[in-house]
Amino acid sequence: MKRAKKRKTILKRKRIALIAHDHRKKDLLQWVKQHRDILANHELMGTGTTAALINEHTGLNVMEYMSGPLGGDQQIGAAIAEEKIDMMVFFWDPLSAQPHDPDVKALLRVAVLYDILTANNESTADFIITSPLFEENYER
């Protein structure tokens, strides 16, 4: 069954999910600190510990979902399906087995299905956040 594509405008003020596996939390926190001034202009949300760390160490206001293994990945996926998230920065750890791996795969699948901006590493996140398109409304 093919999903009908509809035009959607991603607004200038993006709704950004920030997620990181345990071995990548430090990397994501460093990336957020590096881009704090840009991210401060957007609506941020994240899974449990990741959101709490960013809140504590950056002063940014990140809405906290549940921890990933406790359902947070599914909550973020549902928000994507409800078109409440425009972008996801998910620093996942491809070298460590995750107890909630099926949830991670489902989250990545939904992100592709709903055509949201997705960065799974620092280089991609840098390219997205520094693109001139990032600070504009974007019709896709």
In order, the DSSP letters of 34-91 are HTHHHHTTSEEEE-HHHHHHHHHHH---EEE---GGGTHHHHHHHHHHTT--SEEEEE
| Domain contains 87 | yes
The pLDDT value recorded for residue 18 is 98
The pLDDT value recorded for residue 99 is 63
Domains held by the chain: number: 1
86 is known as an active-site residue:
no
| Domain contains 17 | yes
| Domain contains 140 | no
CATH code at 115? 3.40.50.1380
Q: pTM for the full model? A: 0.91
| Domain contains 4 | no
| Domain contains 57 | yes
| Domain contains 78 | yes
The pLDDT value recorded for residue 88 is 97
Domain assignment of residue 70, given as a range: 13-130
The pLDDT value recorded for residue 7 is 77
Q: Of residues 22, 27, 37, 73, which has the active-site annotation?
A: 73
| Domain contains 138 | no
Q: Tens-digit pLDDT profile for the chain (140 aa)?
A: 555 567 789 999 999 999 998 889 999 999 999 999 999 999 999 999 999 999 999 999 999 999 888 889 999 999 999 999 999 999 987 767 666 677 888 999 999 999 999 999 999 999 999 999 999 999 88
